[in-house]
Structure 1
């Protein structure tokens, strides 16, 4: 057999030849080796004792496994296989379906085939299927489901095919060459459409002009300027004013929002699906999805200063590019782990720079964006750095996960929250067991002004 693969939804084909006769001999099962050993032993005893009948029995036992090896080695079956994974991106705790299809592309029927797909142990037991005789040109389809409570990227494959003889003396295993990847993203919660302190709506700014609802009046005409596209000429206004007028169509601007995730290893204690860090990752994912649905231009930022999407501005733009950027951010959260950093300085610099654009950024002129941050443990120094991030943001909301609350140790979270509120943050503690949707609603109910309200209770 040899491996070769048509691409697509995870495919491949196997044929004859890889490994040679030596590889086929290595495929002898325990039963086959026992037959061979018993035959050799019987032949030796027959030679010593001079028993011709016993010699014939020994030769039969020894030759039968070798005949099966030769038969499988000369098998000319060509089998193609494909894998289809739906969906390829699932939230933690949800199932994905894997469909396998085998097709006999040779002119001879196959024997008994055993099909097995390689699956990481976190996705469940390794699936195996037994396929009976497949006629020439025939196909068989089987499926199984995978599920993981841990986010990450998991390879599926390569697909393995096992051929056996009718006596079970020889078993040959060949692998296809392709595999697929299942991306398990963090769990997300549906969030209520609340208005955070100082927040603007997703589209537009307070100073933009109002546009008419529909029809030809959904334009603001102005005088023709050299270089204007003639297709934008507004003939009704031209006839009314006696000069050439063109449409000046104003497009609503997308308000910007940054979701900051503190990934410092020193800021969290514990591990597993119910740890504080996993809660923060899930909260960041829920915020990103909600803000994109509300029409914001969003970016994901970590304490290392890394911004996703990673283009010049760091923010999603809209349309198909926005959908691709959203997928990129969720893929990033699927594999994000603890960083080695000890401080938030790089994140502060990235927030202050606003992704390279002063207008609409943070810290630049007209810094009117929204900042949502998920912090781990904060000492005095990092609390001051976080407080400075508030800057000129239209709104800043912080969810602080204190290890003392999550592990039962001493907690200083209220002191940290008080300092953040003094600088204009809407700061809330995130204790274990609380749903992020509830904290989100509480952040929306915080009074206007300093955002001094917060906490749980």
Structure 2
């Protein structure tokens, strides 16, 4: 994954605003020096001690002069933040590199704090010595993602301090960097996915060299087709321009369903049955994409990832699915929405990852399995994630009766317990 740099260059402060900000940024030590100096000067005037008056004025002026010089100086810094990757899996450690450059005058001591979401760990803090014009400082820190999602790293905040500790001037950059934390995709073994049921597409490639001209499959000419593929015999017979399609790639299609209903799952946080279901879906999506499938992701409320079945980019097709799974929330919908069911589901391959099922869900799954389609189901044994709260509606735990019920209706189904790897259920589906 390519690195992701982000750069920001704060502009120069206006003199009036900078001076007021500098005076307002005096530390306790700076304010103590001012108060002590003024007190000494007043005491000197009362006692007639001129030396004490001079010392008092010098002590009081020291933090004021420091604040003025620091605030009015040209503190212009640029920041480049580079992520080792813009998309990582849950449980992965990522290195973030910061390149701070001084494009203005000499700075004081810099105290740097990077804003990092709680899910990525603690906020890193650094101390950087004063920087002369044109100097660079590079620091790096690790972040570890424990929860899926999309996170913004930054902005970076820094505090400019003088060598005497009289002043603490706060600055902030505005740019952030996005990090997508996707669910873990466990490796799956190769299984038999139903032969002719393995999917549907525009055309399956046919080797023209092994058959006769009568075996060639043709279709109507489309703008952009190579004229060398025109099949003249079919063109003369049909009356429209026809082209051979034995060279067109055929891509299998699969609808991948994730049951993300709150009432169908147990547990909370990263160790819930919903997170396990998302891991199962991510593993299947990556495995099918590696096999050349176009994967259509659908959730219980009918929301799906926008895509093109024939975009020709199979290798990258799993990325939008994984990004959607990274932010897939729970839904309070009690029943599975059926608006997404179309000919691509009943005519192609369907794989569902389910939590607890109700009687209404059984009726829906019975109708979903259409004639000539290949339907697979991974059923999580949600009893292993039983929490303290009672479900909103009764669910059936997936023991042998539910699996057998699906088998009798043409499904291939497998149950997945809490501590079992995804590969176990996947191999069961191939039997």
Which range, TM-score by smaller chain? 0.7 to 0.9
State how far apart, in whole Å, the 1-side matches of 2:224 and 2:145 are: 56
**What is the 5 A alignment of 1:317-332?**
317-320=310-313, 322=314, 325-332=317-324
Asked if 1:126 corresponds to 2:112, the answer is no
Query: Could you list the per-position Cα deviations for residues 381-406 of structure 1 after superposition, in whole angstroms to 9, with x for gaps in the alignment?
Result: 22221232222353211122243232
Contact 2:199 2:254 survives alignment (8 Å): no
Q: CA 1:393–1:141 in 2, change beyond 3 Å: closer, same or farther?
A: farther
Matching of residue 419 in structure 1 with residue 395 in structure 2: no
How far off is 1:130 after superposition? 2.7
Tell whether 2:312 aligns with 1:350.
Answer: no
Matches of 2:23 and 2:387, distance apart in 1: 61
1:334 alignment partner in structure 2: 326
Other-structure match for 1:303: 300
Count of aligned pairs between the two proteins: 408
Which digits, 9 at most, give the CA deviation of each residue in 1:10-49, with x for residues without a partner?
Answer: 1111242164322222222232223233334444444555
1:38-437 to 2 correspondences below 5 Å: 38-47=36-45, 51-106=49-104, 108-197=105-194, 200-201=197-198, 210-212=206-208, 231-232=227-228, 248-250=244-246, 251-308=248-305, 310-311=306-307, 316-320=309-313, 322=314, 325-344=317-336, 346=337, 348-351=338-341, 353=342, 358=343, 361-363=344-346, 367=347, 369-392=348-371, 394-407=373-386, 412-414=397-399, 415-437=401-423
State the shift of 1:118 in Å: 1.1
| 8 A Cα contact 1:232 1:246, kept in partner | no
Q: 1:210 aligns to what SS in structure 2?
A: coil
CA distance, structure 2, for counterparts of residue 221 and residue 280 of structure 1: 41
The question of whether the paired residues in 1 share the 8 Å contact of 2:259 and 2:300 is answered with yes
SS in 2 for 1:350: coil
- TM-aligned CA deviation for residue 208 of structure 1: 5.1
Instruction: Name whichever of 41-50 and 278-287 sits farther off.
Output: 41-50
Deviations 1:145-190 (A, max 9, x none): 2111111111111122322111111111211221111111001111
Find 1:17's aligned residue among 13, 18, 21. 13
C-alpha deviation, 1:417, in angstroms: 2.7
Structure 2 CA distance for partners of 1:199 and 1:55, relative to 1, 3 Å:
farther
Question: Compared with structure 1, are the counterparts of its residues 230 and 15 closer, same or farther at alpha carbon in structure 2 (3 Å cutoff)?
Answer: closer
**Alpha carbons of structure 1 residues 340 and 221: separation in structure 2 relative to 1, 3 Å:** closer
The answer to whether the 8 Å contact 2:253/2:294 transfers is: yes
Distance change >3 Å, CA 411–CA 339, structure 1 → 2:
closer
* Gap regions ≥5 residues in structure 1: 1-7, 238-244, 446-457
TM-score in terms of structure 1 length: 0.79
Q: What is the CA–CA distance in structure 1 between the aligned matches of 2:281 and 2:217, rounded to whole Å?
A: 43
Q: CA deviation at 1:72?
A: 0.8
Distance 1:10 1:349 in 2: 41
Provide the residue aligned with 2:238 in structure 1. none
Distance 2:230 2:357 in 1: 59
Q: Deviations over 1:218-254 (max 9, x none)?
A: x9599x99x997841789x9xxxxxxx9972422422
Name the structure 2 match of 1:453: none
CA RMSD of aligned residues (A): 3.4
- State the Cα distance separating 1:303 from its structure 2 match: 0.6
What residue ranges of structure 2 are gaps of 5+ in the alignment?
Answer: 234-240, 389-394
| C-alpha distance in structure 1 between counterparts of 2:128 and 2:196, whole Å | 60
TM-score by length of 2: 0.84
What is the deviation of 1:196?
A: 3.1
Counterpart of 2:391?
none
CA distance 1:30–1:229, shift in 2 (3 Å): closer
Match of 1:240 in 2: none
Q: Which moved more, 1:112-121 or 1:259-268?
A: 112-121
Shift of 1:293: 0.9
C-alpha separation between the residues in 2 aligned to 1:416 and 1:74? 75
